[in-house]
Structure 1
Amino acid sequence: MKIHSVKFNVLMNMIVTTSSLIFPLITVPYVSRVLSTGGTGHVAFAQSVSSYFSLVALLGVTYYGVRACASVRDDGTELSRTVKELLVILGCSTTVVSIVYVACLFTVPKMNAQFELFLLFGLSIWLASFGVEWFYQALEQYEYITVRSICFKILALVLMFAFVRERGDYVTYGLIVVVAGYGSNVLNLLRLRKFIDLHDGAKLDVKRHFKPMLWFVIASISSGMYIQVDIVMLGFLGTTNMVGLYQLVSKIKSVLVTAVNSVGNVMLPRLSYYQAQNKERRAGELIAKNMNFVMVFGSAIIVLLILLADPIVALLGGSDFADSEVPLRCVGVAVMFSAMNIVLANHMISKGKERSWATVNAIGLVLAVVANCVLIPRFGVVGSAISISLCEALMFAMRSYVCREFLSGIRGLIDPIRIFCSAGFSGIATYIVLALCGCSAWNAFLWLVCGGILFSIIYGTSLLVCREQFVTGVIRPILNKIQDTKEQA
């Protein structure tokens, strides 16, 4: 099988990321205005609760499967055996979880009140378990992942405009969300036979995975629950309208985290491969580049959300979502630290530090639950935003402590001071110019575009003047090619 370069994989993932940025710009404004806070709140709550059950059913295979398959991807027989063993484990776990989920539909009042919607999202538990996305990531099949992802986004877009027309259509919208998010997993499973011999008759040893999977199970479940805990707890402690307001913030945050982590998403299989080949130096350089990328774009997002929350909410949500502006300003910190946490998690997984990774994730989940219990009753939607940003920062501090020796070794390759100073200066300068121009009286789109362009110009110039490593590393090859072209001419 052909394994593409990291640059090609990053390009493919950037295309997926770009589509993940473009499609919400079309769908979120439409859905928010049609379903308002009530309908979107119902769907967001059902999706978050079902994702908790899905996390348990997956048993950490999302991460463990990538590492296990990447380490044996050059051995077809062992790769086939590993995949089949993991599918057997997933079949057993998903069956048990589905039984519990159905029981909760009849016994938990808030789930029973939206029985049809929760039943639809129950399908996602099976689709997620047998999507084998971890297999395609392990083999770095990002070209296929990219094409498939865009096709299903387009399908979901067509279905949404065709069938979501009024506020009572939120169940239909829920079905479209399931199709968009998990429908392509059916193709994944059907395509598996192209790479795996499902009928080779090899003896399976499912038990050999139990011990190495243990910490992946704890880490994956606690991490996944942590990501959704703000919406789930807001659903139980608050109202449907509060969930509706916050789901807009959460969607924007998720899209931005995906964008910032577009490089990191392709790193785990390559890091696992480097570690298996004892290529420590190359792994360190890869992570350092990723961290600089995350800090450059994460810092920009923090500043832009603070400066432009008003026009963003006005464009994506409309007047019904005006109360989402303050919490949106608060989640910028969570975007950057969430992406940084993923970078360090990839390092910990590739180095076999599952126990430390799991411990930090479990502590983070406890902190998130406590923070939400304290802040939601007092501050409502804003409390959820503050708690997620605070907890992401604390988790980054804990992961940095665990990885302190590694971070010390690559300290010369990362450049936080220049990045943060440039972002702060650019934010202040942009705010002053926009204030002097009376931007608050502008059209929301004009305000957003002008503010974004102005900040980008000032920020990019500041990073170049400061000679920040990531930006100069991107610009230098371009300048060299231009120079070579001139000399050849």
Structure 2
Amino acid sequence: MNMLVTTSSLIFPLITVPYVSRVLSTGGTGHVAFAQSVASYFSLVALLGVTYYGVRVCAQVRDNRAQLSRTVFELIIILAGSTTLVTIAYIVCLLTVPKLYDQYALFALFGISIWLASFGVEWFYQALEQYEYIAVRSVCFKLLALILMLIFVRQRNDYIIYGLIVVIAGYGSNILNLLRLRKFIDFKYCNNLNISRHFKPMLWFTIASISSGMYIQVDIVMLGFLGTTDMVGIYQLVSKIKSVLVTAVNSVGNVMLPRLSYYQAQREHNKAYELIAKNMNFVMVFGSAIIAILIILADPIVWLLGGPDFIASAVPLRFVGVAVMCSAMNIVLANYMISKGMEKSWAIVNAIGLLLAVISNLLLIPLLGVVGSSISISLCELIMLAMRSFVCRSFLKGIMKLIDPIRIFASTIVAGTGTLLVLRLLHTSYWTPILWLAIGGIVFILLDGLMLIICREEFTMQMLNQILSKHHPSSIKK
């Protein structure tokens, strides 16, 4: 089900990004990206880390309807208070900061998303592993947004309408979440609530969540203040591609936290370790492939998704591949740390990462512009991965025999080198970007898959055996 959500997250931008980029150009897309990033900062503060904390505490009591109901009511009350205060601060900033007031209507529109994000209770459905509902709802609202976009976004000054559609696509389905909540919890348990019991354990979740969320958006926000709207427009294409790829690579990791939390509560540690090891192999296989593909095929990717106005996005796109894989690996380790109750260490690493991101962007954006933002995000993700690996070193040492980094990266290097040679031999001036991308992508996938099989990489062999066993069960050996 989560792969269905991921697939829709991949297909939706493939349709909307080329269309919107060509209609709104760098200016319109830059305005929307900046407003969305600023609003997301306030939303992070309003959520107080409940995005992660809510998944863990609800997963731990999901078999007890009374405790689950009380927990949900307590968290919603906390969110109501924090969101009210954050909204007041957002309105004050909107009226006093010139950069925000210049696009008052757009920023006011994204202010609605703060409330929709706070009361979407997405964490509740993830804790109960309601992935079928999440998938169907997500796909339906993406289709609705696509239809609205094709009908109403027709010229360059339609960027405010595009902003409204972005809010509908991202947060409109949260209204359904609230309406459906009564199916799983009972209002008769809303008495004798103990809200204060959440304050102490939520502290580190709040610090970690705010730091992590701000870190993800810091490149666009700082580019908006230090650079121009056109620079934000050029970089937002890179950022969207990176976000989509991180979502795709982490499609398994996104559903891992509730199951990990459940395993830890049941003291089934071996199952938890096997789950994490499989996820790490998955991330390394697909993450390393993405690094190679972005380096080799950045030009046709940018041309197809952005058009001629976004050609300058190709160079920074080549630098964000490292960020894609490291970000997904960071999420895997973060899920382990959360499930093990190591939220303090998780929060400290996230806070350091945010500080590093701010410093590196301050240094690199004035010097290198958009390229500086992409180098900064990859460098910071790599450093954060090193810090998380150090914190989790004893755990990683225990699962080292279950992961296969050397074979994975060696296969990627061989496949990438082979693809470059094939493209150089075959490429002519008559190739269109679509043909260039198709041939390069197919050659790389075939070479990488072949090398992984030859090397007998663990994850690839497991997947191959599962596929073959469905057709020839008697021919598969353990």
Q: Name the structure 1 match of 2:199.
A: 210
Q: CA deviation at 1:438?
A: 1.7
Give me the whole-angstrom Cα distance separating, in 1, the residues matched to 2:131 and 2:383.
32
Q: Whole-Å Cα distance in 2 between the matches of residues 481 and 168 of structure 1? A: 54
Per-residue displacement from partner, 1:334-383 (whole Å, max 9, x unpaired)? Answer: 00000000000000000000000000000000000000000000000000
* Correspondent of 2:137 among 125, 138, 148: 148
Distance across 1 between alignment mates of 2:466 and 2:153: 48
Of 338, 341, 356, which residue of structure 2 is paired with 1:352? 341
Q: Which residue of 1 aligns with 2:297?
A: 308
For 2:471 and 2:112, the matched residues in 1 are separated by 53
Q: Of the candidates 416, 419, 428, which is equivalent to residue 430 of structure 1? A: 419
Check the 8 A contact 2:208/2:346 in 1, yes or no: yes
User: Structure 1, residues 258-287: CA drift from partner, whole Å, max 9, x if none?
Assistant: 000000000000000000000110000000
Please name the residue that 2:121 is paired with: 132
- Counterpart of 1:483 in structure 2 is 472
Partner SS, residue 415 of structure 2: helix
The question of whether the paired residues in 2 share the 8 Å contact of 1:440 and 1:447 is answered with: no
Q: Equivalents in 1 of 2:415, 2:475: separation in Å?
A: 34
Q: Which AA in structure 1 matches 2:294?
A: L
1:137-178 Cα distance to aligned partner (Å, 9 max, x none): 000000000000000000000000110000000000000000
Structure 1 residue identity aligned to 2:303 = A
- Residue aligned with 1:203, SS: coil
Q: Secondary structure at the match of 1:73?
A: coil
1:281 to 263, 270, 276: 270
TM-score by length of 2: 0.99
CA distance in 2, matches of 1:137, 1:201: 22
The separation in 1 between residues aligned to 2:205 and 2:253, in whole angstroms, is 19
Matching of residues 7-26 of structure 1 within 5 Å: 12-26=1-15
Q: Is the 8 A contact 2:69 2:190 kept in 1?
A: no
> Number of residue pairs matched?
476
Query: How far, CA to CA, are the matches of 1:355 and 1:205 in structure 2?
Result: 23
Is residue 175 of structure 1 aligned with residue 178 of structure 2?
no
Question: Structure 1 residue 75: deviation in Å?
Answer: 0.5
Matches within 5 A, 1:314-325: 314-325=303-314
CA contact (8 A) 1:46 1:117 kept: yes
| Matched-pair contact (CA < 8 Å) for 2:73–2:190 | no
Q: Determine which of 96, 107, 120 is the counterpart of 2:109.
A: 120
CA distance in 1, matches of 2:341, 2:98: 42
Structure-2 residue corresponding to 1:6: none
Kept after mapping to 2: 8 A contact 1:327/1:386: yes
Select the residue among 39, 61, 78 that pairs with 1:72.
61
Inter-CA distance 439–347: structure 2 relative to 1 (3 Å threshold): farther
Give the drift of 1:481.
Answer: 3.6
SS of 1:196's equivalent in the other structure is coil
Q: Give the secondary structure class of the aligned counterpart of 1:262.
A: coil
- Structure 2 contact 294–317 (Cα < 8 Å) conserved: yes
Tell me, what secondary structure is at the counterpart of 1:474? helix
User: Structure 1 residue 477: deviation in Å?
Assistant: 2.6
Matched to 1:143, the amino acid is E
Q: For residues 23-42 of structure 1, what are the structure 2 equivalents within 5 Å?
A: 23-42=12-31
Q: Which runs of 5+ in 2 are unaligned?
A: none
- Quick one: distance in 2 between partners of 1:23 and 1:105? 31
CA spacing shift, 1:456–1:96, aligned 2, 3 Å: same
Cα distance, 1:441 vs. partner? 4.4
- Paired letter, 2:31: H
Give the conservation status (yes or no) of the 8 Å contact 1:439–1:447.
no
> Partner residue of 1:227?
216
- C-alpha separation between the residues in 2 aligned to 1:396 and 1:460? 26
Quick check: 309-318 or 432-441, which moved more?
Answer: 432-441
Calculate percent identity across the aligned residue pairs.
Answer: 73
Give the Å deviation of 1:484: 3.2
Partner of 1:298: 287
Q: Does 1:161 align with 2:150?
A: yes
Structure 1 runs (4+) deviating above 6 angstroms are: none
How many Å separate the matches in 2 of 1:439 and 1:66? 52
Distance 1:428 1:271 in 2: 38
Residue type matched to 2:175 in 1?
Answer: V
2:282 alignment partner AA: F
Give the C-alpha shift of residue 294 in structure 1: 0.2
Q: List alignment gaps of at least 5 residues for structure 1.
A: 1-11
Report the secondary structure of 1:410's partner residue.
helix
1:462 maps to a residue whose letter is: M
Cα separation, 2, equivalents of 1:201 and 1:333: 47
